[in-house]
């Protein structure tokens, strides 16, 4: 079961990893975007940490809704609305549950990614975070009926996301600011796919 405390530890891990990787994510984004992805993610999850401490939500659903609202308010570019939608859909999928079974977690993640797809309209091959999320969710669905512990499932899911992230390097971007560069967007790793891998790895480490 995933407890409220474990969910909070996930968010703490996200604050730490996005702070630690701020310069790297910004470096990736400087090649094909607005050079602000790392700064935005670090600022957003720092604000999440502050809001969680102030408001101290008492359910996983309330916690994830708070994350959603904070990211939408504080993260610029496409990432704020996309990750905000992910956490909002996660919140809605966990409403009324004190703790989450493995199947609850998998359903919530699936709903969150559906939100990203609906909001962003991107597809695999467009050189976006979807290139990491889609293989991750494929692996998640393959393992959903297994007896693996949740942490082990998430390690496998993270590995699939990492493969998807690396697949963005040779792609020509078809969505977002990077698409303006055309062929010049090739040979660069997508920053959104990279921050997705960090998000899933933090879940694997804390769940």
Span 12-24, pLDDT tens digits: 999 999 999 999 9
Q: Looking at residues 57-63, what average pLDDT do you find?
A: 98
What is the average pLDDT value for the chain, to the nearest integer? 95
Check pLDDT > 70 for residue 177.
no
- Residue 78: pLDDT band by 50, 70, 90 thresholds? confident
Q: Which of 54, 62, 44 is nearest to 7 (CA)?
A: 62
Which segments within 53-176 are labelled E, that is strand? none
Q: What is the pTM of this model?
A: 0.95
Structure-block tokens of residue 109:
């993640």
pLDDT at 117: 96
Q: List the domains of the chain with CATH numbers.
A: 4-206 (1.25.40.340)
* 198 touches 134 (CB < 8 A): no
Structure-block tokens of residue 177:
């600011």
Q: Which of 141, 142, 140 is nearest to 157 (CA)?
A: 140
Angle in degrees, 0-180, between the axes of helices 130-143 and 102-120, rounded to the nearest 10: 150
Report how far apart, in Å, the C-alpha atoms of 91 and of each of 19, 88, 115, 135 are: 24, 5, 12, 23
């Amino acid at each position: 079961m995933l407890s409220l405390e474990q969910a909070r530890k996930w968010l703490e891990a996200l604050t730490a990893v996005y702070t630690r990787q701020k310069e790297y994510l910004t470096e990736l984004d400087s090649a094909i975007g607005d050079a602000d992805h790392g700064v935005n993610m670090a600022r957003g999850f720092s604000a999440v940490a502050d809001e969680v401490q102030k408001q101290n939500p008492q359910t996983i659903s309330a916690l994830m809704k708070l994350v959603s609202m904070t990211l939408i308010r504080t993260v610029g570019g496409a990432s704020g609305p996309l990750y905000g939608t992910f956490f909002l859909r996660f919140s809605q999928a966990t409403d009324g549950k004190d703790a989450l079974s493995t199947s609850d977690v998998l359903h919530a993640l699936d709903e969150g990614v559906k939100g990203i797809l609906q909001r962003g309209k991107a597809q695999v091959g467009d050189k976006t975070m979807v290139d990491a999320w889609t293989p991750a969710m494929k692996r998640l669905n393959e393992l959903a009926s297994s007896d693996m512990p949740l942490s082990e499932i998430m390690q496998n899911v993270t590995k699939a996301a990492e493969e998807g992230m690396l697949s963005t390097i040779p792609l020509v971007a078809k969505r977002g600011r990077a698409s303006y560069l055309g062929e010049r967007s090739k040979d660069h790793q997508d920053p959104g796919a990279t921050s997705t891998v960090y998000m899933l790895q933090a879940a694997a480490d804390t769940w």
